[in-house]
Chain A
Amino acid sequence: MAQILLQTVWFIPCYPLIGGVLSMLWFPAVTRRTGPRPSGYVNAILTLFAFLHGVIALTAIWNQPAQHQLIPWLNVAGLDLTIPVEISAVTVGATVLVTGLNLLAQIYAFGYMEMDWGWARFFSLMGLFEAGMCGLVLCNSLFFSYMILEVLTLGTYLLVGLWFNQSLVVTGARDAFLTKRVGDLFLLMGVVAILPLAGTWNFDELAVWAQTAKLDPTVATLLTLALIAGPMGKCAQFPLHLWLDEAMEGPLPATILRNTVVVETGAWILIKLQPVIALSPMGMTITIIVGAATAVGASLIAIAQIDIKRTLSYIVSAYMGLVFIAVGTGQAQTALTLIFAYSLAMGLLVMSIGSVVWNSITQDVRSLGGLWGKRPISAIAFIVGSAGLVGLPPFGCFWALEDFTSGLSQTHPFLLGIVLFVNGVTAFGLMRVFGLVFGGKPKQMTERAPEVHWPFILPMTVLMGFTLHVPHLLAVWHLLPGASLNYTATGLLVLSTAIGIGAGAFVYLNEKWEKPVRIGSQALQDFFAYDFYTAKLYRVTVIFAVGLVAQIISWFDRNIVDGFANLIGFVTVFGGQSLKYNVNGQTQFYALTILFGVALLGLLISWPLLVRLSLIVGG
Chain B
Amino acid sequence: MQLQLQYFLLLAAALFCIGIYGLITSRNAVRVLMSIELMLNAVNLNLMGFSNYLDPVQVKGQVFTVFVVTVAAAEAAVGLAIVLAIYRNRNTVDMEEFNLLKW
- Residue B99 is within 8 A (CB to CB) of chain A in the complex: yes
- Residue A591 is within 8 A (CB to CB) of chain B in the complex: yes
| Contact status A588-B100, CB under 8 Å | no
Q: Which of B23, B24, B95, B100 has the most CB of A within 10 A?
A: B24
Q: Which of A581, A588, A589 has the most CB of B within 10 A?
A: A588
| Contact status A586-B20, CB under 8 Å | no
| Contact status B102-A591, CB under 8 Å | no
- Residue A595 is within 8 A (CB to CB) of chain B in the complex: yes
Known: A586-B95, A587-B95. A592 touches B24 (CB 8 A): yes
Residues of B within 8 A of A584 (CB): 99, 102-103
- Residue A580 is within 8 A (CB to CB) of chain B in the complex: yes
| Contact status B24-A585, CB under 8 Å | no
| Contact status A591-B101, CB under 8 Å | no
A582-601 near B? 1/0 per residue, CB < 8 Å = 01111111011001000000
| Contact status B23-A585, CB under 8 Å | no
Residues of A within 8 A of B48 (CB): none
Known: A588-B32, A588-B95. A583 touches B103 (CB 8 A): yes
| Contact status B24-A595, CB under 8 Å | yes
| Contact status A585-B95, CB under 8 Å | no
User: Complex formed: what's the CA distance from A591 to B102 in Å?
Assistant: 15
With beta carbons under 8 angstroms apart, the residue of A581, A583, A587, A592 that contacts B98 is: A587
Residues of B within 8 A of A583 (CB): 101-103
| Contact status B103-A591, CB under 8 Å | no
With beta carbons under 8 angstroms apart, the residue of A580, A581, A586, A591 that contacts B23 is: A591
User: Complex formed: what's the CA distance from A586 to B32 in Å?
Assistant: 13
Residues of B within 8 A of A592 (CB): 24
What's the least CB distance linking A587 to chain B, in Å?
7
Residues of B within 8 A of A586 (CB): 95-96, 99
Residues of B within 8 A of A595 (CB): 20, 24
User: Complex formed: what's the CA distance from A588 to B32 in Å?
Assistant: 9
| Chain A residue with Cβ nearest B23 | A591
| Contact status B20-A585, CB under 8 Å | no
Known: A595-B20, A595-B24. A585 touches B32 (CB 8 A): no
| Contact status B24-A591, CB under 8 Å | yes
The interface size bin for chain A is: 10 to 19
Residues of A within 8 A of B98 (CB): 585, 587
What's the least CB distance linking A584 to chain B, in Å?
6
What's the least CB distance linking B86 to chain A, in Å?
11
| Chain B residue with Cβ nearest A584 | B102
Residues of A within 8 A of B25 (CB): 588
User: Complex formed: what's the CA distance from A581 to B102 in Å?
Assistant: 8
Residues of A within 8 A of B26 (CB): 588
What's the least CB distance linking A578 to chain B, in Å?
10
Give the residues from 554 to 605 in chain A that come closer than 8 angstroms, CB to CB, to chain B: 580-581, 583-589, 591-592, 595
B20-41 near A? 1/0 per residue, CB < 8 Å = 1001111000001000000000
Residues of B within 8 A of A588 (CB): 23-26, 32, 95
User: Complex formed: what's the CA distance from A588 to B101 in Å?
Assistant: 13
B45-83 near A? 1/0 per residue, CB < 8 Å = 000000000000000000000000000000000000000
User: Complex formed: what's the CA distance from A581 to B100 in Å?
Assistant: 13
Residues of B within 8 A of A585 (CB): 98-103
What's the least CB distance linking A54 to chain B, in Å?
86
User: Complex formed: what's the CA distance from A195 to B98 in Å?
Assistant: 83
Residues of A within 8 A of B103 (CB): 580-581, 583-585
User: Complex formed: what's the CA distance from A586 to B26 in Å?
Assistant: 12
Q: Which of B20, B23, B25, B103 has the most CB of A within 10 A?
A: B103
Residues of B within 8 A of A580 (CB): 103
Residues of A within 8 A of B95 (CB): 586-588
Residues of B within 8 A of A587 (CB): 95, 98
| Chain A residue with Cβ nearest B101 | A585
| Chain A residue with Cβ nearest B103 | A580
What's the least CB distance linking B95 to chain A, in Å?
6
Give the residues from 294 to 352 in chain A that come closer than 8 angstroms, CB to CB, to chain B: none
What's the least CB distance linking B100 to chain A, in Å?
6
| Chain A residue with Cβ nearest B96 | A586
Residues of A within 8 A of B99 (CB): 584-586
B residues apposed to A, CB below 8 Å = 20, 23-26, 32, 95-96, 98-103
Extra A-B contacts (9), CB below 8 Å, given A580-B103, A583-B101, A584-B103: A581-B103, A584-B99, A585-B98, A585-B99, A587-B98, A591-B24, A592-B24, A595-B20, A595-B24
Q: What are 19 A-B interface contacts by the 8 Å CB criterion? A: A580-B103, A583-B101, A583-B102, A584-B99, A584-B102, A584-B103, A585-B100, A585-B101, A585-B103, A586-B95, A586-B96, A587-B95, A587-B98, A588-B23, A588-B24, A588-B26, A591-B23, A591-B24, A592-B24
